[in-house]
Amino acid sequence: MSNQWRVLGSGLSAWFDAESQTAGAALAERIAELSPGGLPLMELRDRGVRVRVPDPELVAGISATAKELGLTADPSALQELHLGVEAVDRTSVASFWHAVLGYDRAADSLVDPLRRDPTFSIRSLDEPRPLRNRIHVDVVRPWTLAQARETARTAGGREAQAGDYYSTVADADGNEVDIVGGDVAQDATDWQLLFGGMTFYPTASPGQAVSLASTVAGLADAAGIPLLVDLRPDGVVIDTGKDLWEDERFADLAGRVQSAAHELGLTADPTRLRFVQFGMDAVDVPAMRSFWQTVLGYEADNRPYVTDLNDPRRLNPVLFFQQMDATDEARRRQRNRLRPELFVAHDHAQPRIDAILTAGGRIVDRPTPTR
């Protein structure tokens, strides 16, 4: 197997640097020719393209094609951020998050059907930790807030806080999610506004998918607005990323993308879209933000009054921070039941650990390797 590829949480992956989304789309077109039976997972970004394959036999051909196109692999760019959920009542907790997220069940995990958003792994908790976590999840889907509340309530959720814009709902163990209603873009109704502008077009063939992706890449490059273009075996997701739909140029670009999709005979399906991010409570927000920036290799959002950390390649969820009460010492001492889980390439794990320790982290547990 080529040394450009690594096995991470979701399987065999490679990242290829590219100077534009059009350059990444050229690789996607060639990969479609190599895999007529169905596309692998491909994410086009302004900095490059990630490829995740189910069949190791595709690796050599993809690597050779990338080299031919002048694209360079960077295994250090590969990482996946998921979430571990420790629960006393695993069955109830899993059912709650299954409903709220709209994920598929896979053994002890909940998995995004489109393989875009973080996997949730449900694990046993031997002793209750009854206080509130210092981490919560935000979920936005193409539903009204009333529909979101009803979905969470029917799945066993307890509304901890209600507002006009969002509701905080807890599962059976007290793990909290802020659920938010979505909206439709006014001038391009194929697009949903779910903290980001996004749309999904089901496709009938690999050729149709790469044709749309290549067109969108060209439109994005021309507009100077990088888009997240994710190719799947059954369709293409197009996304601005968090808050970037607020760019005054978005409406025009969204309309152009929508028209291009319609010219290919495609119809949007918003039901499979969602936005997921993680929020952390902290007493010293700047210090915590700096620490987690090191942990994740993220970039700080420089907008005033925003505490977000963003994946520089926009492949993993946003992490943001909220102020907590310094006198709430019991809650600060309690270990969270929700835990970010970071998968990196095996040969980059120890350097990342060393950087985390240097930034003030400490090793709490070191499981014995099983392989």
Residue-range domains of the chain with CATH: 6-77+202-271 (no CATH), 79-181+274-358 (3.10.180.10)
* 180: Cβ contacts below 8 Å, ≥ 6 apart: 138, 139, 140, 145, 148, 165, 166, 194, 195
Mean pLDDT of the chain: 95
pLDDT value of residue 371: 44
The residue with greater pLDDT, 50 or 127, is 50
Backbone angles phi, psi at 309, to 5 degrees: -115, 135
User: At residue 169, does pLDDT exceed 60?
Assistant: yes
* 196: Cβ contacts below 8 Å, ≥ 6 apart: 239, 240, 241, 242, 243, 244, 245, 275
SS3 124: strand
The token pair at 191 is 């697009």
The token pair at 171 is 């599962």
Q: Tens of pLDDT along 304-360?
A: 999 999 999 999 999 999 999 999 999 999 999 999 999 999 999 999 999 999 999
Cα separation, 10 vs 96, in Å, equals 23
SS3 25: helix
Task: Please report, to the nearest 10 degrees, the dihedral formed by the alpha carbons of residues 300, 303, 305, 311 taken in order.
Answer: -30
Predicted model pTM: 0.96
Q: Tell me if 268 sits within 8 A of 274, measured CB to CB.
A: no
What is the C-alpha R_g of the chain?
21
